Structure 1
Amino acid sequence: MGEGGWSVGYAMTKAAFGRVAPVLHVEYADMRLFSVDPGWTITERTVAAGRAAQYSRHFTPGTPDVIARAIRWLVTGTEADGLRGKVVMAQQEVRARQLLERWPAPVSQDRPWET
């Protein structure tokens, strides 16, 4: 413990919040409730910490606009009704439904992440 990575508290909180939408969906079935898993997302903090290039070699990163596009799709219209009360993998939905043009963009394995 204490050697980097997620803290135990962070991991426990993340796991607990993943169950909020499914439980609330049982209680309030008429509400549009989703638990959104954004996947690995490039943020200014990730770039500033110098981790973007390292992780991008192993994962296709999303960006905040990718996650926003998934959330927009979830809350507008009725196409996502079958996912109510479930964990929604945001990047997978954006990719599968082609909600954002030219995404995922190819990630270079030879140079650092570029914003």
Structure 2
Amino acid sequence: MVEAQAISKQRVVMVTGASRGIGKAVAMALAEQGHHLILTARSLDGGATFSGTTVDDPLAGQGLSGSVSEVALQCRSLGVRAIAVALDLTDEQSITTAAEIALAEFGSVDTLISNAIYQGPGVNDLFADVPIDLLRQVIESDAVAPLILLKAFLPGMLTSGRGVFIHLTSGAATLAPRKPAGQGGWGLAYAMAKGAAHRIAGVLHVEHGAQGLRAYSLNPGHVTTEVMHMRAQREERTVTGEGPQDVATAVTWLVAGDPAACQLSGQEVVSRDVIQRLRNS
């Protein structure tokens, strides 16, 4: 068991997919807690476009707001070190380089928040329509890419005895959709990718929990995104869901290492359950 004093110290945290949405909210919340940050995204300085989630997504090519460099600047204004690093989930060399930059800058990374997911054709295509190469790309981007980072950071995590891994999971990891993709459900590639990544935390806990590593699958619930707003506007309907702040609060609680949080290592944790716990405490 990691001592509370060791758990609560200032950390070096990598947050993937930190340009906007959940990733940005998590980065800002961790900066407010005094943690140093490596923030990643496909592009550093804005101009990112949405790649769509199907082979014929009408929103493909739409511009996205914000940049990870802007988020890093906002975090630095809170008095922490924060760097922005380019990381493309579909490019193993890009992932490896991002890990090398993080280790060169900080020496070690004791906390990894795996938030980034592949956005592109194949995610929400019907199985009959998705080429196998796209299916493979979705799965490898969402389930294997975090492991490449973990491989790089694990030695330092185990040496410090205070490593934390949090993967943002989804109901698609464990549930069948009520409707097909395109009609309110999700694609097989997305379900397989999320299902595979969902198993990481439990195995890490069994293999390395005794060495102080805590690992979680964090279910954010139904959180609205910029793309969801874009799609709702195009379809002339109202978007539903919550903002990302509760997820950020749940992440900071897990990272801080409250005894109750330590007991949840290896399990799926639901953000709204954490918020309810904090309200009742």
Which of 212, 216, 235 lines up with 1:34 in the alignment?
A: 216
Shift of the 78–96 alpha-carbon distance from structure 1 to 2, 3 Å rule, reads closer
Which of 54, 64, 88 lines up with 2:269 in the alignment?
A: 88
Q: Match of 1:70?
A: 250
Q: Match of 2:193?
A: 13
Runs of 4+ aligned structure 1 residues displaced above 6 Å come to none
* Deviations 1:71-92 (CA, angstroms, capped at 9, x unpaired): 0001103231111110001122
Alignment check: 8 A CA contact 1:36 1:90 kept: yes
Q: Match of 2:226?
A: 44
> Which TM-score applies when normalising by structure 1?
0.71
Q: Take 2:189 and 2:254, find their aligned partners in 1: how far apart are those partners?
A: 29
SS of 1:98's equivalent? helix
| Larger relative strand fraction | 2
Which is worse superposed, 19-28 or 70-79?
70-79
- Pick 1 or 2: higher relative contact order, CA cutoff 8 A, min separation 6: 1
Q: Take 2:277 and 2:200, find their aligned partners in 1: how far apart are those partners?
A: 25
Q: Take 1:13 and 1:87, find their aligned partners in 2: how far apart are those partners?
A: 16
Alignment check: 8 A CA contact 1:66 1:91 kept: yes
Pair member with larger Rg:
2
Alignment check: 8 A CA contact 1:39 1:90 kept: yes
SS of 1:40's equivalent? coil
Query: What letter corresponds to residue 81 of structure 1 in structure 2?
Result: C
SS of 1:33's equivalent? strand
Identity, % of aligned pairs?
Answer: 34
Alignment check: 8 A CA contact 1:62 1:91 kept: no
Q: Take 1:85 and 1:49, find their aligned partners in 2: how far apart are those partners?
A: 35
Q: Which runs of 5+ in 2 are unaligned?
A: 1-125, 130-180
Displacement of 1:47 in angstroms is: 1.3
Query: How many residue pairs were aligned?
Result: 94
SS of 2:218's equivalent? strand
Q: Match of 1:22?
A: 202
* Deviations 1:60-107 (CA, angstroms, capped at 9, x unpaired): x332111111000011032311111100011221133229xxxxxxxx
> Which TM-score applies when normalising by structure 2?
0.31
Query: What letter corresponds to residue 26 of structure 1 in structure 2?
Result: V
Q: Take 1:10 and 1:41, find their aligned partners in 2: how far apart are those partners?
A: 17
Q: Take 1:89 and 1:32, find their aligned partners in 2: how far apart are those partners?
A: 16
Displacement of 1:17 in angstroms is: 1.0
Q: Which runs of 5+ in 1 are unaligned?
A: 100-115
CA RMSD of superposed structures (Å): 2.2
Q: Match of 2:279?
A: 98
